[in-house]
Amino acid sequence: MPGKVLSHPKTGEELLFSAPSFRKGNSSFLKSRGLQLLNALAALKVQVVGSFWLPGMHLFTPEQLADMRNIPGVPNHSLFVGTSDAPVAAKNWYSFQGDPLMVVENRWDSVEEYVASFKKKYRARYRKAMELNESLETFYVSSERDFQECCAMFQATLAPKVAALPDNLSVLLEGFGHWFGDSYQVLAAQKNGQIVGFIGYLKDGKVLRAMHYGALDEAPDGLYSLLMFEVIHRGIEGGFAEINLGRTATEIKSTYGAEARENYFSFYTNKPVLKMILKVAHKRYRPKSYTLRSPFKAT
């Protein structure tokens, strides 16, 4: 994993510090969210606790994050960034609310119990999504050819919407296989011999994390739900405490039983010009609105 690993002097915890690369992304997407700031960061010395390539894996309290800025050995920086579970109120910090992390807390002994806990409407939606298995074949990607197909899909699906990722997103998928070995799996769905979509997931201790999704424009309706349910199945069957479905698609993930966990992108700087930019960005920033819907029966 690109970056520098340092030990916390008080806790002994190993912490990754990385210098992110930024891409232009989709300018209209950035403008709609007040995120034009990201396009100006490439020329700065930015230091991140964790990595933007590992969404949700490095989440700290405001106090923990503020303390990490002063760990010996942290590279020089103009801007220090981390993800916190609440806004950092300390001086020279600016926190922006991100899309919530959507997490399914596993309380079932089987997939059957999970489905039985749904309201009638959501059981019908689940069954409709799973009916796609009759026309699709799902399999774990192992060949280089299939993997490159997934990389191309990932590039087409995500490239217009992101900023803090490498220009060539295949580097990211390939990197996960190298960094995490068998703990990272890519599950693909194919129809008539052609891959139409895939999802990557990572085994991270007691947490199963859905990481990367890509699909063809002509992929069947419901493929996203099918593959998300397949990850949830593996989380339940594997006895994981949580299945973290990541950010984005907040409302639809809530219909799978995921609950929202707030998180903030928190920035520190003592540079006058950057402080002014962050103050302006903070006033203009508009978190995305969403509606949560629980699929479960009342208990």
Question: Do 12 and 108 fall within a single domain?
Answer: no
Stronger pLDDT, 285 or 239, i.e. the higher one: 239
The pair phi, psi for residue 61, each rounded to 5°, is: -75, 160
Residue 209 lies in a domain: yes
Residue 299 lies in a domain: no
91 Cβ neighbours under 8 A, 6+ residues apart: none
**Considering its fold, how many domains does the chain have in total?**
2
Summarised one tens digit per residue, pLDDT across range 192-224 is: 999 999 999 999 999 999 999 999 989 999 999
Question: Do 235 and 276 fall within a single domain?
Answer: no
Stronger pLDDT, 168 or 31, i.e. the higher one: 168
What average pLDDT does this structure show over 174-188? 90
273 Cβ neighbours under 8 A, 6+ residues apart: none
Question: Do 255 and 278 fall within a single domain?
Answer: no
Tokens 């590992």, residue? Answer: 54
Stronger pLDDT, 13 or 119, i.e. the higher one: 119
Residue 291 lies in a domain: no
Question: Do 166 and 241 fall within a single domain?
Answer: yes
Residue 297 lies in a domain: no
Residue 292 lies in a domain: no
Give the global pTM. 0.89
Question: Do 266 and 277 fall within a single domain?
Answer: yes
State residue 30's pLDDT score: 45
Summarised one tens digit per residue, pLDDT across range 20-71 is: 766 555 444 445 444 455 555 555 688 999 988 888 899 999 999 999 988 9
Residue 216 lies in a domain: yes
Question: Do 143 and 241 fall within a single domain?
Answer: yes
In this prediction, residue 163 has a pLDDT band, given cuts at 50, 70 and 90, of: low
What average pLDDT does this structure show over 97-122? 96
The angle at the Cα of 220, spanning 186 to 257, to the nearest 5 degrees, equals 65
What average pLDDT does this structure show over 99-119? 97
State residue 24's pLDDT score: 55
User: In this structure, which amino acid lies at residue 158?
Assistant: L
Name the least confident of 41-45, 104-108, 131-135: 41-45
The CA distance from 119 to 297, in Å, is: 5
Question: Do 146 and 179 fall within a single domain?
Answer: yes
Question: Do 9 and 73 fall within a single domain?
Answer: yes
The pair phi, psi for residue 239, each rounded to 5°, is: 70, 25
Percent of the chain whose predicted confidence (pLDDT) is above 70: 88
In this prediction, residue 241 has a pLDDT band, given cuts at 50, 70 and 90, of: very high
Question: Do 188 and 204 fall within a single domain?
Answer: yes
State residue 29's pLDDT score: 44
Residue 15 lies in a domain: yes
Contact assessment for residue 285 and residue 96, using Cβ atoms and an 8 Å cutoff: yes
Domain that holds residue 72: 4-98+262-284
Residue 294 lies in a domain: no
Question: Do 221 and 280 fall within a single domain?
Answer: no
CATH code, 223? 3.40.630.30
